Amino acid sequence: MTYRSLLVLLDDDPLCAARVKVAIDLARNFEAHLTGVAPTGLVELPISVEAATVVTELAEAAQAELGDRARAAAQAFDAACVAAKLSACRSVVLEAEPADALLREAHSHDLIVLTQPDPAETGYTMRRAVVERLVLFNARPTLLIPYAGTVEAPFQNALVAWDGSREADRAIADALPFLRKARRVDVAAWRENGLLADTTPNAELEALREWLARHGVTATVRNEVASAPIADAILSRTADLDTDLLVMGGYGHTRWTERLLGGATRGVLATMTVPVLMSR
């Protein structure tokens, strides 16, 4: 298994250029095709006929402006690919909301590259909603690049946060192309403080280590005791191990008819300091 087709979001986010650079580096490293998707977003028209007659022209002008921004993002992507001498790439402008466009295109790609939204930037709430929807509903793994710092790909030191769940199993399987190329791979299972005193790997973790070895990945496995919230404990360990890629399941739950991220997932997404690969 490897990544043969990568997908990256193109927009007017100041972090888009850094995101595209990572995507280009990964496409080169995996000898994969890279698609840049520039969604325009949609302008909502008023419901009442009376209001529609007044603002339709303004709405059309606003939609045209959104289209111009999307095309500019696509052109910048094309130029970056040319500068990087990456020929296996293409850009596409889609008249759709960003999450809808990415979810639709994800079916024909192996990995989506996004950026952690920067709370200080305009449009933070909207960008966060796009990321959360992709994590919850994406059919493919999502690679999130932190908004702070510089990211160099490919990644050398990977940490897998594993708890035996379906989501964690999916994430570690989806991350195999990264794990095979990593210099060091650590797999840790966290438990709340007091629930687990012994950090010795149990039979389940040993079986996972053997499974990884069969796939060409040499990993160190251990149990971890979390005295802090799980998200904080995971991110603390990434710093201790000089991790440059965190792999974990993306968790969600249902409140009435609304899908929501789980606490650990939301915590990592909010405070991540290294790239995170998430799967559901």
Q: Which residues contact 193 (CB under 8 A, 6 or more apart)?
A: 225, 226, 227
CA 82 – CA 85 distance, rounded (Å): 5
Would you state the pLDDT for residue 258?
Answer: 40
Mean pLDDT lowest among 11-20, 133-142, 197-206, 207-216: 197-206
**Which tens digit of pLDDT belongs to each residue from 54-103?**
566 666 777 788 889 999 999 999 999 999 999 999 999 999 999 999 99
Pairing type for strands 252-255 and 258-261 reads: antiparallel
Listed in sequence order, the residues at least 6 apart from 121 whose beta carbon sits closer than 8 Å to its beta carbon are 13, 14, 15, 127
Average pLDDT taken over every residue of the chain? 87
CATH code for residues 157-279: 3.40.50.620
- C-alpha distances in angstroms, 234 versus 21, 60, 185, 222, 228? 27, 47, 15, 13, 9
pLDDT tens digits for 224-278? 877 777 888 888 899 999 999 999 987 654 443 344 445 677 778 888 899 999 9
**Which pLDDT band holds residue 8 (cuts at 50, 70, 90)?**
very high
Please state at what angle helix 124-137 crosses helix 263-271, rounded to 10 degrees. Answer: 130
Token look-up 């791979």 returns: 185
- Label residues 10-24 b or e (16+ Cβ within 10 Å = b): bbebebbebbbbbbb
- When pLDDT is averaged across residues 195-204 and rounded to a whole number, the result is 64
Give the pLDDT confidence of 174-184 residue by residue, as tens digits.
999 999 999 99
Is the separation of the CB atoms in 228 and 236 below 8 Å? yes
- Which residues have CB under 8 Å from 6's CB, separation 6+? 23, 26, 27, 30, 32, 33, 34, 35, 109, 110, 111, 112, 113
Q: What CATH superfamily classification does 5-145 receive?
A: HUPs (3.40.50.620)
Q: Which is nearest to 35 in space by CA: 67, 17, 8, 72?
A: 8
> Euclidean distance between the first and final Cα of the chain, in Å?
18
Answer whether 172's CB lies under 8 Å from 279's CB. Answer: no
Q: With contact defined as beta carbons under 8 Å apart, do 278 and 250 qualify?
A: yes
Residues of the chain with CATH 3.40.50.620: 5-145, 157-279
- pLDDT at position 54: 56
pLDDT score recorded for residue 48: 55
The Cβ of residue 200 has, within 10 Å, a number of other Cβ atoms equal to: 9
pTM comes to 0.89
- Please tell me the predicted confidence (pLDDT) of residue 253: 45
